[in-house]
Amino acid sequence: LAVKDPTAVERANLLNMAKLSIKGLIESALSFGRTLDSDYPPLQQFFVVMEHCLKHGLKVRKSFLSYNKTIWGPLELVEKLYPEAEEIAASVRDLPGLKTPLGRARAWLRLALMQKKMADYLRCLIIQRDLLSEFYEYHALMMEEEGAVIVGLLVGLNVIDANLCVKGEDLDSQVGVIDFSVYLKSDDDIGGKERNVQIAAILDQKNYVEELNRQLNSTVSSLHARVDSLEKSNTKLIEELAIAKNNIIKLQEENHQLRSENTLILMKTQHHLEATKVDVEAELQTYKHSRQGLDEMYNEARRQLREEAQLRQDMENELVVQVSMKHEIELAMKLLEKDIHEKQDTLIGLRQQLDEVKAINVEMYQKLQVSEDAMKEKNEIISRLEDKTNQINATMKQLEQRLQQAEKAQMEAEAEDEKLKQEYVNKSESLQNEFSQKEKQLLQLETDLKIEKEWRQTLEDDLQKEKETVSHLRTETQEIVNLKKEFLKLQEKNKQLKSVCEDQEAALQELASKLSESKLKIEDIKEANKALQGQVWLKDKEATHCKLCEKEFSLSKRKHHCRNCGEIFCNACSDNELPLPSSPKPVRVCDSCHAILIQRCSSNVP
């Protein structure tokens, strides 16, 4: 046989003792029928068992004088994990009669039981196993699954009302010893099964009502918190609205001031602009007249300069023509000289010929007598030669006349050339004088133009300054328009805030009406529970059909029994479900009395 782990055996024994103590405490408390005090034996045994469960596997801590092993360390850790536990931790520390950490831990357990939150506090503690590992060994009951089971069993203690006096009780010197004689069975326990069943039903109903009350209290607290937050937000919105109204009034005053200033500035700028416009128009008119006169003078000077340049060009062209004509005349004279020399040569040749002819004539005249026929022929030749001589003489005369004419034309051309040279020199001197005068006039006109340009530049600067002032005024008017838009936006935001306030007030009224309705429903449920407490279950053989749909029960249509009114329904008809924080799944509720339904089996055991 395998040897069992002693720590596992210890955990199992402590779990069983916790089950027995919790069950015995609940049964005895319900049979007792009133609130419990600190002298009640099952309650004392329960605290002893819980103390043993919390001490299991606790690490030993060294101190200055001795070793310390107490459960106050992990319990003191709860207030950091669960903020609602700060109140009982502070009250435990403030108790005057407690001197040891064990006494503080015992007082803490009693206060947690009176608050009915022991299960919630320990559940937050066992979830944080990394923090528990500082106080417990790895095999401790609080570090294993048995701790979670004990926390689940502690939820049933919420049906007990306890009134414990912790202040005057000596919790430091109590000895925790478990009395096992309380948990031994007797004959009276065997015969009280029916009474236990009734007690269990009453406990379940009480648990359900307490859960409902807890849920309603939580919803009421959340609604109160929401109402407080809404009131705070409403007050803030009212303050913001007042501030916004004051800002709007200030902005309106500033707007009126800005408008008045704007109107004054506009009037001043208009007068100034009109005056500047008149001055600028007059200056522009004078500038235009002066510019027009200067342009006319400049155009006339340019025209005269062009005419003089054209005349100079014409004179230069004429001079070139005269020079070319002179060259042509010189060439013609040279050609004429050549012709004259050639003709003189021809005349010399003709004279020689004439001398020869004369000699020939003499000879012919001498020979004429020799022969008449030869004379006739010679006479004919002479007549021909005479004609030729006459022609030559005529041509010589013409050539002499032409030579005389050419000499005269040469003399006239030379005289005209000298005259033209003299005239050209005089005209060039006069043109140079006029050109210098025109240059002086141009320089004077350029200085006048520079002065006019400087004057125009000053006028343009003045105009630019006026434009800048106008643009500045336009920006100021644009800022005023933007202020108007912001004012309109603030008005719209004010309207929206008013609508939000009205919506929140309507929501508060609806929440108040729903709260009143929920309170009325709770009172109706309590009255129905009080009226239906005396009813008894039907027997399984008698309950064969569902009360609502009147169909026979089967495997698919299971029986669900109401603990208050005793009615039996099928699973198809009992669809009303209600979530409970103590159970992972929602429970089914009776349609008539809204009590918890339980499923029945064939042995009539719930």
Predicted confidence at residue 522, as pLDDT, reads 84
Q: What is the mean pLDDT of the segment spanning 461-479? A: 82
CB 11 within 8 A of CB 5: no
pLDDT at 597 over 70: no
Summary mean pLDDT of the chain: 80
Cα 45 to chain centroid, rounded: 67
- pLDDT surpasses 50 at 549: yes
Structure-model confidence comparison of residues 206 and 517, the more confident one: 517
pTM beyond 0.95: no
Statement: residue 33 has pLDDT above 80: no
Q: What's the confidence (pLDDT) of residue 603? A: 37
Q: Please, are residues 29 and 160 in contact by the beta-carbon 8 Å criterion?
A: yes
Tens of pLDDT along 556-571? 666 666 655 666 767 6
Average pLDDT over residues 151-159: 87
pLDDT at res. 604:
38
Instruction: Please report, as a single letter, which amino acid is at residue 394.
Output: A
Q: How confident is the model at residue 1 (pLDDT cuts 50, 70, 90)?
A: very low
Side chain identity, residue 567: E
Q: Is the pLDDT of residue 335 over 50?
A: yes
pLDDT in tens, 42-74: 888 888 888 888 888 888 765 554 445 688 888
pLDDT for 211 equals: 83
At 568 the three-state DSSP class reads strand
**Taking residues 577-582, what's their average pLDDT?**
48
**What pLDDT score does 249 carry?**
92
Q: In the prediction, which pLDDT does 248 show? A: 92
Q: What pLDDT is attached to residue 601?
A: 44
Q: Quickly state the pLDDT bin for 426 (edges 50, 70, 90).
A: confident
The single-letter DSSP state of residue 3 is P
6-183 falls under which CATH superfamily? RUN domain (1.20.58.900)
DSSP 3-state of 36: strand
- Which range (120-129, 307-316, 417-426) has the least confidence? 417-426
Most confident of 166-170, 179-183, 297-301, 362-366: 297-301
Confidence of residue 578 (pLDDT cuts 50, 70, 90): very low
Residue of higher predicted confidence among 578 and 106: 106
Say which residue, 427 or 17, is predicted with more confidence.
17
Tokens for 144, please give them: 């294993």
Assign residue 574 a region: left if phi > 0, alpha if psi is -120 to 50, beta otherwise? Answer: beta
256 SS3 class? helix
Region 34-46 average pLDDT: 80
d(CA 70, CA 92): 15
How do the domains of the chain map onto residue ranges? 6-183, 560-599
Cβ distance 147 to 126 under 8 Å? Answer: yes
pLDDT at 69: 65
- Residues 496-539 have pLDDT tens digits of 888 888 888 888 888 888 888 888 888 888 777 776 565 555 66
The pLDDT assigned to 598 comes to 54
Lowest mean pLDDT among 362-376, 406-420, 469-483, 532-546: 532-546
Q: pLDDT grade, residue 361 (50/70/90)?
A: confident
> What is the arithmetic mean of pLDDT over 543-547?
74
What are the tokens at 22?
């919790």
Q: At a CB cut-off of 8 Å and minimum separation 6, what does 143 contact?
A: 57, 129, 132, 133, 136, 137
- Tokens 């007549």, located at residue: 383
Residue of higher predicted confidence among 242 and 598: 242
How many Å apart are CA 462 and CA 272, to the nearest integer?
A: 12
Higher pLDDT, 595 or 71: 71
Per the structure block, which two tokens stand in for 69?
A: 């092993």
For residues 22 and 29, what is the distance between their CA atoms, to the nearest angstrom?
10
Q: In one letter, which amino acid is 24?
A: G
- Picking from 267, 254, 262, 261, the residue whose alpha carbon sits closest to that of residue 484 is 254
Mean pLDDT of 330-352: 84
Q: Which residue is listed with tokens 């092993």?
A: 69
Mean pLDDT of 158-173: 80
Percent of the chain with pLDDT over 90: 2
